[in-house]
Amino acid sequence: MSDLARAGVAETASLVATGEVSARGVVEQALGRIESRDRELNAFSRLLVDEAIAEAQARDDALAAGEQAGPLHGVPIAIKEEIDVVGAVTTFGGDANSTPAAADAEVVRRLRAAGAVVVGKTTMPEFGAFPFTESTSRGITRNPWDHSRTPGGSSGGTAVAVSSGMVPVGMGGDGGGSIRIPSASCGLFGLKPQRGRVTTAPHAHLWWALGTAGPLTRSVLDSAIVYDVVRGNVEGDLYTAGGDEPFVDAVGRDPGRLRIGWSTKAVSLGVRPDPTHVAAVEETARLLTELGHDVREVDPRYPDPTAAFVPQFFAGIRAEADLVEHPDRLERRTRETCRLGSWVTPKVVEWALGQTEQVSTKANRVFDEVDVLLTPAIAHRPVRVGRLDGVGTVRAALRAMPSIAYAALWNVAGNPAASLPCGTGADGLPVAVQLVGRTDDEATLFSLSAQIEQARPWPLLAGDA
């Protein structure tokens, strides 16, 4: 691979801004990598070749005219299928829409305003319902570390595009772990921000209180750069977040001595973590102790998030399904999910949102004792592809449980949570841990994650280990 394949967001933007490479050259190389690698991985559902080259040329022309480079100037970026990109169909991972979006989603507008170049849309399971990137229309997306394994989901296409070096960054979404699960499976840094940190416009919400958009990157700094570009609200957003410290500043400062609690107990009953993930948590706890933090094992006393999560899951799927142009083209499993969720009326959603507040209060009790909670990111090792083949909603949900066992609670509670790489396992696949922060405290997670990254660097690309 070329050096540009390994260059992250910060390095790529710097190279373009200083004139060492052109934005057009960067983008054309990225498109070439996609062309050569994606046939075997299936990360992209739609490439915007002509549009991306024209946009990159516009970035070069702007620099030549004396305009100041933005923080993402010339950086190729991939966008998950559920996020609107002007001129591309917002497919939600299926075939039920056919009309291209008339405008960019607000996060895409902000990315372009900062200089990013959109190169394409990435695969996802229909409506992001399950943590395996497989669908009837898009086929199977494969983990670049082992093509027989899943990259996780639902932002699996984005994770594969970044982990394989096709692009330095991609946008995903997280309604139950869908940024953190594929990040953990593909060796990336993926932070789910505080609920309301990133606007969901043009929609008022994403799966009500559960969902948010965010980047998947190969470094902590790159994630912070992108979040500082896309964060903030617009009129009509259902949720807003507090705090205004730039995340890039947080990456650059020492986190100080933190109280860090660790636990390998799963939120989901009956789920046991793989020994590899238990060892990763214990090893990270030892590293944090060596770095001077006050580290102890804790019992998080997790509340059961089911009553809050399940109604919003069904309501989110049904709301998105109601918006598509061709409902008859929805996958059979999606239609079954909509039928099974018919009991979720507006009153049930309102009740579930009340339950969300109760779960959040109980989940946050752990932060009376600690500043950060350390857990596994996922319970199992990345499983073989084909997990959704021939199964209905109930069996798919059961197969999803090990993936979301540590993640989904924090969508209900709203707290920021990050999947942080920590090397590879004996199977050659990435290993990760999860860091959960206090409400509105992404800054501490960025600062601590950067400290860990410096002390324990991880492979940048699949195959680098």
Task: Specify the residue for token string 């639902």.
Answer: 154
Options 154, 164, 403, 419, the catalytic residue: 154
Of the residues 80, 163, 192, 219, only one is catalytic, namely 80
DSSP string, 283-310: HHHHHHHHTT-EEEE--------HHHHH
d(CA 366, CA 359): 12
Q: How far apart are CA 95 and CA 81, in angstroms?
A: 11
Backbone angles phi, psi at 191, to 5 degrees: -110, 125
Place of tokens 């770095």: 291
Instruction: Output the CA–CA distances (angstroms, integers) from residue 90 to 44, 94, 430, in the order listed.
Output: 13, 9, 31
Q: What is the DSSP string of 316-381?
A: HHHHHHHH-S-GGGS-HHHHHHHHHTTT--HHHHHHHHHHHHHHHHHHGGGGGT-SEEEEES-SSP
Q: Report the alpha-carbon distance of residue 382 to residue 163 in Å, rounded.
A: 15
Terminal Cα-to-Cα distance of the chain (whole angstroms): 15
Q: Coil, strand or helix: which one is 72? A: coil
Query: Which residue shows structure tokens 């932070």?
Result: 191
Please, are residues 101 and 118 in contact by the beta-carbon 8 Å criterion? no
CA distance 373 to 297: 10
Radius of gyration of the chain (CA): 20
CB environment 308-336: b (16+ within 10 A), e (fewer): bbbbbbbbbbbbbbeebeeeeebbebbee
Q: Is 362 labeled as catalytic in the residue annotation?
A: no
Residue 370, sorted as left (phi over 0), alpha (psi -120 to 50) or beta, turns out to be beta
The one catalytic residue among 178, 263, 268, 419 = 178
Active-site positions? 80, 154, 178
